[in-house]
Amino acid sequence: MQLRFKILIFALCSAVLFSCKEKVQEEPKTEIPEDFVEFYNLFHTDTTYQLDHIHFPLEGMPALSPDSDLQGFSFWWEREGWKIHKPFDDNGGTFNRAFSNFAGIITETISDDSGQFSMMRRFSKMNGEWMLIYYKEMGR
């Protein structure tokens, strides 16, 4: 009787432990269209292609100092004076890059390890072509 009781207790404890085991959920993978990857690579290696695939005037935000009077106002980048964007460089692991896709708008965020400085770009298809539609310059 005592052995049967111990087996029952062991079985119950095992069932409770097994049912309470925390399930680890994988982070959902962002679906990035294959044609976006091709566009993205060409965008960073061909300056003419890059300029032709930016929706100027481009909405965004320049890097601002904390006392800047542009905080909260719209800013528009112009073709004249545009600084060509180069391929991503993690600078020895001190920068991270992430992509998200919401309703066909691809958002790229690059930030430093501390999370204090970041840059954001948004891309969307316009007339069947991928275009840069928003750019927030690296800053706080």
The predicted-structure confidence for 88-128, as pLDDT tens digits, reads as follows: 999 999 999 999 999 999 999 999 999 889 999 999 999 99
What own/partner pairs with CB < 8 Å and gap ≥ 24 does 116-121 have?
Answer: 116/140
Can you give the C-alpha Rg of the chain in angstroms? 25
108 within 8 A of 97, measured Cβ to Cβ: yes
- Distance between CA 18 and CA 15 in Å, rounded? 5
Q: How many domains does the chain have?
A: 1
Whether 86 is covered by a domain: the verdict is no
Asked if the structure places residue 89 within a domain, the reply is: no
With helix as H, strand as E and coil as C, how does the chain read? Answer: CHHHHHHHHHHHHHHHHHHCCCCCCCCCCCCCCHHHHHHHHHHCCCHHHHHHCEEEEEEEECCCCCCCCCCCCCEEECCCCCCCCCCCCCCCCCEEEEEEEECCEEEEEEEECCCCCEEEEEEEEECCEEEEEEEEEEEC
CATH number at residue 123: 3.10.450.50
Residue whose entry in the numeric block shows the structure tokens 């927030």: 136
Domain span at residue 104? 30-64+73-79+95-140
10 in a structural domain: no
Greater model confidence, 130 or 19: 130
Q: Please check whether residue 114 lies inside any domain of the structure.
A: yes
pTM to 2 decimal places: 0.75
User: Is pLDDT above 90 for 86?
Assistant: yes
The reply to whether 105 falls in a domain is yes
Residue 21 located in a structural domain: no
